[in-house]
Amino acid sequence: MKKTKRFLALALALCLSVGLAACSNSSTPGGSSSPAADGGSGDASGKTKITWWAFPTFGVDSGYEQELADAFMAANDDVEIEVVTINFTDGPAQLTTAITSGTAPDLLFDAPGRIIEYGNAGYLADMNDLFTDEFKADVNNEGLLSSCQGRDGTYYMYPISSSPFYMGLNLEMLEASGAIDYVNLEGDRTWTTDNFVKMCETLRDSGVATVPGIVYCGGSGGDQGTRALVNNLYSSTIVSDGKWNVDANGVKALELLQSMVSEGALDVGNSMVASDELQNFQKEICAMTFCFGTSNEVSYAPIDDAYTQVAVPFPSDDGVPELEYLVNGFCVFDNGDQAKIDASKRFIQFICDDPTWGPKSVVKTNAFPVRTSFGDLYEGDEHMALLASWTQYYGPYYNTLDNFATMRNEWFNLLQRVLAGGDAAAEAETFNTNANTVTTG
Amino acid sequence: MATTKAPKRSLVLQRRETVVSYLFLLPALFFFVGFVIYPMVMGVITSFTDASLANGGQGTFIGLSNYIRLFQDKIFWKSALNTIIIVVVSVPCVTAFSLWVGSAIYKMRSGARSFFRCVFYLPVVTGSVAVVVVWKWMYAKYDGLFNYLITAAGGDALPWTESATMAIWCVLIILFTTSIGQPIVLYVAALGNVDSSLVEAAQVDGATNLQVFWKIKWPSVMPTTLYVAIITTINSFQCFALIQLLTRGGPNYSTSTVMYLLYQIAFETEKNFGYADAMGVVLAIVIAIFSAVQFKVMNGGTTE
């Protein structure tokens, strides 16, 4: 009896703790269908069934994905589309689980960071046939096109729209504190690091906000904002010779932020990610956000028009920013069924290139079309015209570099260590080592 | 004739009952094997491979490499230390507090007892996400309830989850409040079952309340204490959702636990299932050892 009980206790403990770790190989995301398990592309009606997993880039619960699917199916009665919307919190883990358990969707709407990782690992169908000379000429942006390619040059993502990431400021707080004197609201609004520091100090001294700004570093959510801040302050780059590298100017920027935090000109958010910082901006606890974009402007718009939000590019020592940017696009999983791959590609072209649905879909992403032939989809909108003018400041796109996910984890930990008083140079060296350590096959 | 036929019918009946019993067990057995045993075995096997997203989760055998890396991984050790702190602090606190509350309320009138049971059990039945979101707001640096009260009283706001030294205590407080509900209910039931004649006899003999507790009640509720200790230990070792929602293991890994690190490695950063499974296996072994020690110590070496 004693042995039996002991065995049962051991078995229970083993079951409980190993179960989670092992579920990566055995479980599927709840509520989604399994294309691979269908046993083929067609059903009794002879239709090709495809499953589309979409992050809420067209808006949360907008229903636009289903609208697109219905419109496509009405014009293509040989295809049946199941729409599954996923969110940015659980979606990535659901995708990882689905891919490794052989139940990946046929079609995914996402961004290059994950898509190229899947492509490089061999899960995706190549999209080379969609990148015609006409399309490339229409996009006319080498950097943007290369963000859709895997390390061997294969195209894995078909892009639809793009938009820059930038900073947001609270106009009334700037005016009340006098910090407005340091912000350029003329032309394309570029400004310098010196003025950024003075603006933060003025905001601090005036006390109009609880804190001038928050360098959030509690996780990887929205970390492109803090990277853009660091990289712009002294025109540094995080990639050197294809490796993750915080260079000497990056260290200088980290030291500047460290001193600003210690002097109260900025605050650190050790347990905050971008969404937390954005909420504090929306609640007027801080006067600026480092994670503004076309989508966040809407999601975190002022409540009851309590203040005016102002978009500015990131400040840099030479006044010429290098902005991070978002690319929205589609990929097709290679689930071993050519009919599904073909149907998925047809659907992608319908969403992106159809004369009616293409421009409409771009506008739904609240971003700018990658096709120049679509022209100005926001005619008469001065704000969107300003944001469009910032595309000239797009920096190098590095989200497709190997170890991107590991780098992101190392990034927020680097900020935490430096802003807690750590030696910036030594911590940057630790980052450079850890972010480049390849631990997966 | 009758005496010879009766056992035969009984045997048939017995066999039929046995078959029916197994049929009733079959659905549960199916789920147990499919969702517990199979993943567990796969987890152990995968821990000896380099399975990752990059190779479709179908890694090749690499022997003990994952385990060797694990013992050289400073972050794993930091997470292991945090896990141990959580277990060592939470298990005695939860057990002792539950016993204390249980002792205080089990003699109350039915209505009052139910009220307190409800109050303490509420965090258990409330969704963990809702609980953590509320606590997160209370801990919030700028507009949180705690800092509001502190500053209103003239004090300086505290960094709570922003601080590497305070964050783990913030986690422990939430874990404590969500863990005491079930033990309190169990202790109230266990204490209610203590033979009152023994207590009365001891009191007549002049025993103090403390003596009554240690000599009569404590031995009577020992099986409950053992159960509470083991379940709290396992829950504390597996503390995950709370950390994922509150601190994401930070600041600077100060609240990272083995369970959380395992998830990060498997699904967020490396997507390295082999290494994550190695962590899972080590965690399982540690939990088993802790449970066995608790069993031994709390039952005084006898498990019967």
Which positions in chain A touch B56 (Cβ < 8 Å)? Answer: 99-100, 121-123
Neighbours of A128 (CB within 10 A): 12
Which of B36, B38, B53, B289 to probe the A interface (max A CBs under 10 A)? Answer: B53
User: Distance between CA A254 and CA A257 in Å, rounded?
Assistant: 5
Note whether B50 contacts A: Cβ–Cβ < 8 A: yes
- Assess A92–B contact: CB distance below 8 Å, yes or no: yes
Element (H, E) at B226: helix B222-237
B64 occurs within a structural domain: no
Which candidate from B52, B271, B284 shows the least CB-CB separation from A18?
Answer: B284
Supply the pLDDT for residue A58.
86
pLDDT above 90 coverage of chain A, percent: 72
| Of A277, A314, A299, residue with least CA distance to A366 | A299
For tokens 């964050």, the residue is B167
| Digit-coded pLDDT (tens) for B162-201 | 999 999 999 999 999 999 999 999 999 999 988 889 989 9
In this prediction, residues A361-384 reach a mean pLDDT of 92
Is B163 in Cβ contact with A18 (below 8 Å)? no
Structure confidence by residue, pLDDT tens digits, B223-264: 999 999 999 999 899 889 899 999 999 898 999 999 999 999
To the nearest whole Å, the CA of B37 is away from the closest chain A CA by 7
Asked whether residue A135 falls in the same domain as residue A63, the answer is: yes
Residues of A within 8 A of B271 (CB-CB) are 96, 405, 440
Note the Cα B274 to chain centre separation in Å: 25
Interface test with A, best of B270, B282, B291 (most A CBs within 10 A): B270
Q: What is the pTM of this model?
A: 0.82
User: What is the rounded distance in angstroms from the CA atom of residue B262 to the CA atom of residue B285?
Assistant: 15
Spell out which residues of chain B touch residue A28, defining contact as CB-CB under 8 Å: none
The pLDDT of residue A9 is 40
pLDDT 10s digits, A265-302: 999 999 999 999 999 999 999 999 999 998 888 889 99
> Which of A45 and B296 is assigned the larger pLDDT?
B296
Residues in chain A, total: 441
Kindly state whether residues A354 and A249 are assigned to the same domain. no
**CA–CA gap between residue B267 and residue B261 (Å, rounded):** 10
For residue range B1-30, what is the model confidence (pLDDT) as tens digits?
A: 444 555 566 788 888 888 898 899 999 999
Q: Per-residue confidence at A176, pLDDT binned at 50, 70, 90? A: very high
In this predicted structure, the answer to whether residue A12 has a pLDDT above a threshold of 70 is no
Q: Is residue B153 part of a domain?
A: yes
Please tell me whether residues A135 and A192 are part of one structural domain: no
> In terms of domains, do A175 and A222 share one?
yes
Q: Does A206 touch chain B (CB under 8 A)?
A: no
- The answer to whether position A177 is within a domain reads yes
pLDDT, greater one: B281 or B122: B281
Residue with structure tokens 């909108």?
A: A381
Cβ contact, residue pair B302, A2, below 8 Å: yes
Q: In what order do the strands lie in the sheet with A158-164?
A: A79-85, A48-54, A107-110, A325-332, A158-164, A368-369
* Whole-number Cα distances in Å, A230 to A145, A236, B134, B186: 26, 8, 33, 54
In a domain, residue B12? The reply is no
Average pLDDT, chain A: 88
CA pair distance B195, A157, nearest whole angstrom: 72
Q: What is the mean pLDDT of residues A422-437?
A: 95
Q: Looking at the 3D structure of chain B, how many domains does it have?
A: 1
**B 154-183 residues with CB below 8 A of A?**
159, 161-164, 167
Give how far Cα A15 sits from Cα of A9, A88, B96, Å: 10, 29, 28
Residues of B in contact with A24 (CB under 8 A): 57, 266-267, 273, 276
The pLDDT, as a whole number, for residue A62 is: 78
Which residues in chain B are contacts of A96 at CB distance < 8 A?
A: 53, 266-267, 271
CB contact under 8 A, A270 and B287: no
* Closest CA–CA distance from residue A22 to any residue of chain B (Å): 4
Instruction: Output the pLDDT for position B9.
Output: 65
Within a domain: B138: yes
Taking each helix axis from N to C terminus, what angle separates B181-192 and B110-125, rounded to the nearest 10 degrees?
150
Q: Is A29 inside any structural domain?
A: no
Which chain A residues are within 8 Å of B252, Cβ to Cβ? 270, 413, 416-417, 420
| pLDDT reported for residue A44 | 61
The verdict on a CB contact (< 8 Å) between B280 and A285 is no
CB contact under 8 A, A15 and B276: no
CATH number at B105 reads 1.10.3720.10
Check whether A415 has a pLDDT greater than 90: yes
Q: What is the pLDDT of residues A138-157, one digit of tens each?
A: 998 888 999 999 989 999 99
Residue A392 pLDDT level (bands cut at 50, 70, 90)? confident
Tell whether the model's pLDDT for residue A40 goes beyond 90: no
User: What's the structural domain count of chain A?
Assistant: 2
Q: How far is A103 from chain B (nearest CA, A)?
A: 12
Task: Give the pLDDT of residue B238.
Answer: 85
Report pLDDT digits (tens) over A201-258. 999 999 999 999 999 999 988 999 999 999 999 999 999 998 999 999 999 999 999 9
Q: Nearest CB to B288: which of A10, A26, A285? A: A10
Contact B46 A271 (CB under 8 A): no
Residues of B in contact with A270 (CB under 8 A): 159, 161-164, 167, 250-252
Contacts of A398 (CB under 8 A, 6+ apart): A238, A239, A404
> Domain for residue A88, yes or no?
yes
A191 and A299 together in one domain: yes
Residues 75-104 of chain B with CB under 8 A from chain A are none
Q: Among A19-23, A325-329, B202-206, which stretch is predicted with the lowest mean pLDDT?
A: A19-23
Give the pLDDT of residue A439.
Answer: 57
Contact map slice: A 230-269 vs B, CB within 8 A: 268-269
| Segment 9-28 of chain A within 8 Å of chain B by CB | 9-10, 12-27
Look at residue B46 in the predicted model and tell me its pLDDT: 94
> What is the reported pLDDT for A246?
96
A:354-383 residues touching chain B, CB 8 A cutoff: none
Q: Residue B45: inside a domain, yes or no? A: no
A145/A273 same-domain check: no
Residue B261 lies in a domain: yes
Give the range of the structural domain holding residue A348, as residue numbers without chain letter. Answer: 41-162+326-388
Shortest CA gap B165–chain A (Å)? 12
Residues in B closer than 8 angstroms to A261, CB to CB, are: none
Nearest chain B Cα distance for residue A430, angstroms: 13
In this structure, is residue B96 part of a structural domain? Answer: yes
Q: CB of A220 within 8 Å of any CB in chain B?
A: yes
Same domain, residue pair A292 and A149: no
Could you give the percent of chain B with pLDDT greater than 90?
A: 64
**What per-residue confidence (pLDDT) applies to A102?**
87
Closest CA to A291 of A175, A163, A156: A163
Say if strands A325-332 and A107-110 run parallel, antiparallel, or are unpaired. antiparallel
- Residue A26: pLDDT band (50, 70, 90) is very low
Contact between chains at B253 and A17 (C-beta distance less than 8 A) = no
Kindly state whether B242 is in contact with chain A, defined as any CB-CB distance less than 8 angstroms: no
CATH number for the domain that contains residue A207: 3.40.190.10
Angle at A166 between CA A160 and CA A170, to 5 degrees: 130
- Asked whether residue A100 falls in the same domain as residue A184, the answer is no
- Residue A11 counted as domain residue: no
The answer to whether the CB atoms of B267 and A15 lie below 8 A apart is no
Q: Which pLDDT score is estimated for A20?
A: 42
Nearest CA in chain B to A119: B54
pLDDT at A35 over 50: no
A153 and A180 in a single domain? The answer is no
What does the DSSP 8-state code read for residue B265? I
Confidence of residue A312 (pLDDT cuts 50, 70, 90): very high
How much is the pLDDT for A16?
Answer: 43
Q: Is B61 touching A (CB cutoff 8 A)? A: no
State ipTM. 0.77
Provide the pLDDT for residue B5: 53
Assess whether pLDDT exceeds 50 at residue A307.
Answer: yes
Same structural domain for residues A334 and A300? no
How big is the A-B interface in CB pairs under 8 Å? Answer: 192
Q: Kindly state whether residue A245 falls inside one of the protein's structural domains.
A: yes
Chosen for mutation from B35, B42, B72, B141 (greatest number of chain A CBs closer than 10 Å) is B141
Among B46, B251, B275, the residue with its CB nearest the CB of A22 is B46
CA nearest neighbour of B44 among A332, A284, A313, A15:
A15
The mean pLDDT of A379-408, rounded to a whole number, is: 90
Interchain proximity B288–A13, CB inside 8 Å = yes
What single-letter DSSP state applies at residue B161?
A: G
Q: A202 and A313: one domain?
A: yes
Q: Which residue of A has its CA nearest to B280?
A: A18
Q: Which of B281, B289, B284 is nearest to B67 (CA)?
A: B281
- Kindly report the nearest CA distance between residue A422 and chain B, in angstroms: 11
Supply the DSSP symbol for A365: T
Domain of residue B103, residue span? 73-298
pLDDT-derived band at A319 (thresholds 50, 70, 90) equals: very high
Q: Hey, are the CB atoms on A18 and B288 less than 8 Å from each other?
A: no
Per the model's pLDDT, the better-predicted residue between A399 and A353 turns out to be A353
- CA of B65 vs chain A CAs: smallest distance (Å): 12
Q: Give the up-direction half-sphere exposure of residue B167: CA atoms within 13 A in the CB hemisphere.
A: 26
Q: Which residues of B touch A420 (CB under 8 A)?
A: 164, 251-252
* Cβ-based contacts of A91 with chain B (< 8 Å): none
Q: Are A93 and A320 in contact (CB under 8 A)?
A: no
Q: Per the CB < 8 Å rule, is B143 touching A283?
A: yes
Whether residue A268 is found in the same domain as residue A411: yes
Burial of A436 (0-12, 13-18, 19+ CB in 10 A): middle
